[in-house]
């Protein structure tokens, strides 16, 4: 009886112990990715971290409204049709966490720097490029080109993010993003599969 009882206890404990250890190990896996959460001295995230889903929080000086979240154009969200799937390489990678806040701050700085040009009606690519370089971006990372009859398009490769936009009489539009899924950095890809 002792041998039978000992076998039953051991056979019952070994699988239970192994499952308990696996459960403890799996609990911590995938819940935090380096660089994708709130900074140690920043605001605490109100959204719980889940595997594969980036965490966003309200950034300083951000307009009030709902806390941003992953969108349908975010590469983390699988496309629902073949056209979107086949052209997903052309969709810029969204910024999340502190990188998103850094992007919003860069967008504000660029708008402020280009506003005097817009008010003067100065839509020369060279002037736009100079204003962006004065913000501290290296001259080889800033590109500006004529966009339509009275506008300038620009692209800044800031190494940690891409800043792309247009300057015209209607205003300054600027977007911050993390590059493209196919690894072309800030340059829009020319082809995919």
Give the tens place of pLDDT for each residue, 110-157. 999 999 999 999 999 999 999 999 999 999 999 999 998 889 999 999
CB 168 within 8 Å of CB 114: no
Instruction: Identify whether 162 is part of a domain.
Output: yes
Residue 100 token pair: 């998103």
DSSP classification of residue 16: H
Confidence of residue 165 (pLDDT cuts 50, 70, 90): very high
Give domain status of residue 62, yes or no: yes
**121 vs 119: CA distance, rounded Å:** 5
pLDDT bucket at 65, cuts 50 / 70 / 90: low
Cβ-based burial of 115 (10 A; exposed 0-12, middle 13-18, buried ≥19): middle
Q: Is residue 169 part of a domain?
A: yes
Total domain count, the chain: 1
Residue 147 belongs to some domain of the structure: yes
- Does the structure show a pLDDT above 50 at 1? no
Range of the domain at 113: 53-193
The least confident of 61-75, 119-133, 164-178 is: 61-75
* Of the listed ranges 57-61, 72-76, 125-129, 189-193, the one predicted with least confidence: 72-76
| Helix residue spans in the chain (DSSP H) | 2-28, 82-86, 98-120, 125-134
Residues 59 and 101: their CA atoms lie apart, in Å, by 5
pLDDT digit string (tens) for 6-62?
433 334 444 444 434 334 444 444 444 444 444 444 444 444 545 566 778 788 777
Is residue 42 situated within a structural domain? no
Nearest to 126 by CA among 135, 139, 110: 139
Residue 53 C-beta-side C-alpha neighbours within 13 Å: 10
Say what the pLDDT of residue 19 is.
Answer: 36
Would you say residue 96 lies in a domain? Answer: yes
* pLDDT of the residue at 4: 44
Both tokens of 189, joined, read: 């890809």
């Amino acid at each position: 009886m002792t041998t039978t009882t000992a076998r039953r206890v051991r056979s019952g404990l070994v699988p239970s112990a192994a499952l308990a250890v696996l459960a403890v190990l799996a609990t911590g896996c995938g819940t935090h990715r380096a660089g994708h959460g709130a900074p140690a001295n920043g605001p605490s995230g109100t959204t719980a971290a889940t595997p594969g889903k980036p965490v966003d929080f309200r950034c300083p000086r951000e307009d009030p409204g709902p806390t941003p979240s992953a969108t349908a154009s975010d590469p983390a969200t699988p496309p629902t049709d073949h056209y979107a799937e086949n052209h997903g390489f052309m969709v810029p990678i969204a910024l999340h966490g502190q990188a998103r806040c850094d992007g919003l701050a860069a967008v504000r700085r660029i708008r402020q720097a280009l506003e005097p040009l817009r008010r003067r009606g100065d839509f020369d690519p060279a002037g736009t490029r100079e204003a962006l370089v004065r913000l501290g971006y290296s001259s080889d990372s800033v590109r500006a080109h004529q966009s339509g009859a009275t506008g300038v398009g620009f692209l800044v490769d800031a190494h940690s993010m891409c800043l792309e936009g247009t300057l015209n009489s209607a205003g300054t539009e600027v977007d911050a993003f993390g590059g493209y899924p196919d690894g072309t950095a800030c340059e829009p890809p020319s082809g995919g599969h």
